[in-house]
Structure 1
């Protein structure tokens, strides 16, 4: 499925102009701020192995070859004998709630600061999480926690995993287009520590070697305010494209583990190759009708799904390591922080100060479904 924020474009010239001949198109939403946060404590891969008391050489090799140096995690406290015991599902849900609110508040405030905005400016808040279920949702908790205007519109996206950040961005871009000049924020808060299992199985090891706690927020505005009609700075969101892979439906799951009496992640070892094989299909669909080729894309911001996922995307899209330097760097320093990973990369790109007006970028995430989500932006 391909979704255009406004009327379909047919050439790069129309992308530049922002409207089709003889039409009055609404302003495209622009990304005006980003912010990130983590939980307080970080661990090296060796420290995680020690915490889980893992001695199996196969699992130790998996950790050692993950391309991850450090991750932020909130592990159970040690008892008097120095042992960390598995947490029951109820405690994990409490952990998810506490971490999601704390990290989310920090990321949201950092995002608004970068956007030059205040909490009172916020008109729509969309919260994304897949590491726990909350009712009322995280958006309601954030409004109460931060004292956001009770009339702020809100939405919650759950159960869409690592691709959910771009799913939410598509929804909120539509909201921003329908509400010119009003500030909207997508907030991803993933307490992956609330989804960890303490056992020595290979299934658990794949997950425990990869994920970390993290939150990221991105702010959107379409057009200017009434008193400042000029469009804000920041890349315009041009269009979205997605691709679901039904034959890999069960390759990424977060479901109930009856043996452990808790929810548990599952990642099929073949998923990097499945994602890689479909990356070209969805990117070509994203660029269809724009007059752009993959070689015209100056910036690639891809989900830090794991070393093999990154390698597969690089090969199948004909990219070089420099193209995915931020994706690789985020994986190294944070691990896979699920739905907000690509925003950690976007923040690093902005901090580099290398983007130039007119340049194009592609955002890409992948997750359960199995699904690849993409977005085309222009500075």
Structure 2
């Protein structure tokens, strides 16, 4: 008789000892909004299968900065260098607007900012967007900063996790996570189904969230936003290639790829990560009053709803953001959070879950309490 030795299970993520409180949120989009029909017309798409993708996306409008037209009225294909320039210009413009709106809602000024973390996946810059925004806005040169680049749609919560740790180590100091995604700078012009899936989904957007822990942070009764209690992650290594942004040798540029099966892969793992998030808290899923899920696409949202047993009302803001703006990558969940705050229905003591998903393939979650 043999005894099989089993590795001990990994401990569940612990509650934060000094949970930071969310003080404000702000969002911004680019100037031009298009309906799905207008995008089809702009790119002269006539393939019925591709048209069907656009029309059945549950998206009404998206903010996009499309390429200029030539003498015949057709859109001009932009080389990778022009797309990088577009990313830089749009990310700085939207990012500055979202940051200002966030600080205003938090009752703070640019001079109060002590750490700026900027998230993006729609372009690569050195120096990063944090340094460019500090120069653009005249933020104190001694402001601590970080850039999270290339993690994709889940990255907003990855950044929030990291900055929550910074906040706990710097009580009373204001930190901001800013997601700036110029998805127009990753738009591919061809007639393939691969790019059609992406082109029917993404829009430009930026969002920012401010947090502070310890002395100086508002007490629960005085705060609009919740405290961040805990984070949990789940990576699906076998689906590492299911969502990616890599070099397209045919076009000589970067392009997105989304596996058609990814909504079902994500949905199948949603229960696992939520159970891990709630482990050790004595909370059940039914105790969660507010669900703020990434607006990844109609099928992704449906898969999460089915696997977690949520109602359509639970994901009303997720669905509304997708309808009005499309998928804005890393910052989409903060657009939903802003809509929840604007409703003014969150009561002290209520719990909420933030959930994002993206390349890896990964799911990221956070537990919050008002």
Q: Does 1:100 align with 2:110?
A: no
Tell me which residue corresponds to 1:46.
Answer: 37
Gaps of 5+ in 2: 1-9
Tell me which residue corresponds to 1:311.
Answer: 302
Q: Which of 17, 28, 31 is the aligned partner of 2:19?
A: 28
Question: Cα distance, 1:223 vs. partner?
Answer: 2.1
Runs of 4+ in 1 over 6 A off after TM superposition: none
Alignment of 1:117-132 (within 5 A): 117-132=108-123
Q: Is the 8 A contact 1:301 1:362 kept in 2?
A: yes
Q: Does 1:199 align with 2:186?
A: no
Q: Is the 8 A contact 1:43 1:72 kept in 2?
A: yes
CA 1:47–1:121: 2 relative to 1, 3 Å:
same
Q: Does 1:55 align with 2:65?
A: no
Tell me which residue corresponds to 1:261.
Answer: 252
Q: CA RMSD in A?
A: 1.2
Output one character per residue of 1:243-266: Cα deviation in whole Å (capped at 9) or x when no partner: 000110100000000000000000
Tell me which residue corresponds to 2:67.
Answer: 76
Output one character per residue of 1:327-373: Cα deviation in whole Å (capped at 9) or x when no partner: 00000000000000000000000000000000000000000000000
Rounded to whole Å, the distance in 2 between the matches of 1:334 and 1:5 is 34
Rounded to whole Å, the distance in 2 between the matches of 1:174 and 1:210 is 33
Q: Which of 258, 280, 297 is the aligned partner of 1:289?
A: 280
Q: Which of 11, 14, 17 is the aligned partner of 1:4?
A: 14
Question: Cα distance, 1:229 vs. partner?
Answer: 8.1
CA 1:80–1:115: 2 relative to 1, 3 Å:
same
Question: Cα distance, 1:230 vs. partner?
Answer: 5.2
Rounded to whole Å, the distance in 2 between the matches of 1:5 and 1:320 is 27
Q: Is the 8 A contact 1:5 1:173 kept in 2?
A: no
TM-score normalised to structure 2 length: 0.95
DSSP 3-state at the match of 1:323: coil
TM-score normalised to structure 1 length: 0.93
Q: Which of 319, 341, 351 is the aligned partner of 2:342?
A: 351
Rounded to whole Å, the distance in 2 between the matches of 1:229 and 1:342 is 23
Question: Cα distance, 1:3 vs. partner?
Answer: 3.9
Q: Does 1:138 align with 2:148?
A: no
Q: Which of 76, 86, 104 is the aligned partner of 1:85?
A: 76
Question: Cα distance, 1:81 vs. partner?
Answer: 1.4
Rounded to whole Å, the distance in 1 between the matches of 2:198 and 2:279 is 36
Q: Is the 8 A contact 1:282 1:372 kept in 2?
A: yes
Rounded to whole Å, the distance in 2 between the matches of 1:230 and 1:164 is 28
Q: Is the 8 A contact 2:154 2:364 kept in 1?
A: yes
Q: Is the 8 A contact 1:5 1:174 kept in 2?
A: no
Question: Cα distance, 1:224 vs. partner?
Answer: 2.9
Gaps of 5+ in 1: 7-24
Give the number of aligned pairs.
358
Tell me which residue corresponds to 2:174.
Answer: 183
